[in-house]
Structure 1
Amino acid sequence: MAERILGNELKTLSAEPWVNIELKDDNLFHWNVALIVLNPDSLYYGGYFQVYLFYAVVATRRHFLRPLFHPNIYADGKLCISILHAPGEDEMSGESAAERWSPAQRVESVLISILSLLDDAEVSSPANVDAGVLLRKDREAYKKMVEKDVESSKRDIPEGFVMPTHEEANKPPPKEEGDENFWYDSGVDDTSFGGSDSDAEMTFGEDDEEQEDESEEEDDEEVEDMDERGGSRGAATPVP
């Protein structure tokens, strides 16, 4: 079951411009994912950040292969994010079970959460205290650190890989052949297609009833006529 779900997710995500995925040793449970930041408003715009993900029922291991200077990323690249924490309640962190890892979590939702975390850091309990302090007190200095990480990440872009742009990622999907003529004015009265079968049956039913009434009236007239004729023939003839 898990392999089928992961296989479907791999197929779907492989078509997305913001990720570049390779399986480690062709194992569906071990993913090397490059997150490509295509949002021009992000401090991390243009970055190619490699993340290792291991899918498991109990919890998912995850870390950046090249550590980033970020309040929620440890010095060894490990991520501190609630959606990837072990299942269950945690009174110390205040996280509910719904916020933590579950096997029902999709890989896509995990990756989107990681991307969101980059620009929306949690500084109240940072994994990297220095990064948290710098972000709060000197945003410009923090921004310069981020720019260094973005430039360093570009060294990991595979040879021959073409980085997508923001414009390409937001380009509308191509229209399928025949889409423009799918809805066209055929010149035929819409009511020809708008009525239901039941409406048609009702119309036919009314016509049938009228025909039946006419037939019954004709039959009654014939019977009355026959009665009149039979009565005149069957009357007693006076004896002279």
Structure 2
Amino acid sequence: MSKASKATAARTRLMGEMKALRQEKWIHFDDNEDINILKWKFALMVINSDSVFNGAYLQAEMAFTEEYPYQPPKFRFLNPITHPNVYPDGQLCISILHTPGEDVMSGEDASERWSPLQCVESVLRSVLLLLDDPEISSPANVDAGVMYRDRREEYNKKARETVEQSKKKIPEGFEMPRSFETAPPPKVENDDDFWQESDDDFDFGGSDTGEDEDMEDYEGEDDDGEEDEGEDGSDDDGSDEEVVSGSEAKKR
């Protein structure tokens, strides 16, 4: 694939991903911003009552190359945030954004790192998970890592301060979502007739003993429920042969 074709493919894919993400409740694109498809600006919203960052409106940017999705994007928070995996300049250290392949020095498996199968949504969901489950064995911010490990209440206080500061960045007229959930579906009333279905509704095509006999008897009756008789009082076919049940016929 030529360089121009790769660039076109990257932009086309990114436009599709952005369109899909605009439907999500936890990410907000400011329509007043000029859109650069290779450099996104948006806000991640933490909508999780169990998160210490719950209620945060975290502005961020992602930068892509024309090699996307074969090369990972870069992610940076624009809000000041104290977190073990965030550098002082807001750059995020997370495995999913590391170049494809194994890295013996870092100890990361290839499955943890970037691959063309990943997408922007998978990155952003990983970022939200990392906020509350930081990797402190090799922190980007050592002080924050130590605080998280040894002085959790102090760390949580810093997080709450981040939340309050971030709310000042919420655009005028924009309402923060409070939950991921949409309105519940309408209640389905119980259908009493469902529990009164006859046995015929559960007949899967098998034949019971005597079933063939019942059918032959039925076919021999007229509309009034009486058996059709010939002029001499015998059956229409004139046969006095005894009706044989389905099971007996099989034996013969």
Q: Give the secondary-structure state (helix, strand or coil) at the position aligned to 2:192.
A: coil
Partner of 1:133: helix, strand, or coil?
helix
Q: Separation in 2 of the partners of 1:206 and 1:53?
A: 77
Question: Is 1:173 paired with 2:189?
Answer: no
Q: Deviations over 1:25-56 (max 9, x none)?
A: 44556443322222233221221112223452
**What is the letter of the counterpart of residue 152 of structure 1?**
Q
Aligned to 2:102: 89
Q: Does 1:218 align with 2:239?
A: yes
Aligned residue identity for 1:218: S
Structure-2 residue corresponding to 1:230:
none
- Bigger share in helix: 1
TM-score by length of 2: 0.67
Change (3 A) 1:195 1:22: farther
Contact 1:60–1:101, Cα closer than 8 Å, also in 2:
no
CA distance 1:66–1:5, shift in 2 (3 Å): closer
Give the match for residue 128 of structure 1. 141
Q: Does 2:197 correspond to 1:190?
A: yes
Q: Which runs of 5+ in 2 are unaligned?
A: 1-8, 221-234, 242-252
Q: Is residue 110 from structure 1 mapped to residue 110 from structure 2 by the alignment?
A: no
- d(CA) in 2 for partners of 1:8, 1:198: 50
State whether residues 87 and 100 of structure 1, in contact with CA within 8 Å, keep that contact through their aligned partners in structure 2. Answer: yes
User: Are residues 8 and 91 of structure 1, via their aligned partners in 2, closer, same or farther at CA, if it must alter by over 3 Å?
Assistant: closer
| SS across alignment from 1:186 | helix
| Contact 1:71–1:127 (Cα < 8 Å) also in 2 | yes
Indicate yes or no: 2:69 matched with 1:59.
no
SS in structure 1 at match of 2:60: strand
Separation (CA, whole Å) in 2 of partners of 1:187 and 1:126: 60
The alpha carbon displacement at 1:146 in A equals 2.1
Kept after mapping to 2: 8 A contact 1:44/1:150:
yes
Supply the distance in 2 between the matched residues of 1:192 and 1:34 (Cα, whole angstroms).
59
Query: How big is each residue's C-alpha offset from its partner over 1:144-197, in whole Å with a ceiling of 9 and x where there is no partner?
Result: 3223322221121111011222xxx16563324xx524x512378413773357
- TM-score of the superposed pair, with normalisation by structure 1: 0.70
Give 1:19's aligned residue.
Answer: 27
Report the AA paired with residue 16 of structure 2.
G
Helix, strand or coil for the counterpart of 2:41?
Answer: strand
- 3-state DSSP of counterpart to 1:50: strand
Return 79-88 or 22-31, whichever deviates more. 22-31
Identify if the C-alpha distance between structure 1 residues 139 and 120 changes in structure 2 by more than 3 Å, giving closer, same or farther.
Answer: same
Identical counterparts, % of pairs: 44
Q: Deviations over 1:82-113 (max 9, x none)?
A: 11211100111100110011121243332221
The code of the aligned residue for 2:89 comes to: D
Q: Who is 1:141 aligned against?
A: 154
Describe the superposition over 1:186-221 as per-residue Cα deviations: whole angstroms up to 9, x where unpaired: 378413773357359xx9977677779x8888198x
Gapped runs of 5+ residues in structure 1?
A: 221-240
In the alignment, the residues of structure 1 paired with residue 95 and residue 132 of structure 2 have an alpha-carbon distance, to the nearest angstrom, of 16
Corresponding letter in the other structure for 2:184: P
Q: Per-residue deviation at 1:67?
A: 3.5
Equivalenced residues, count: 212
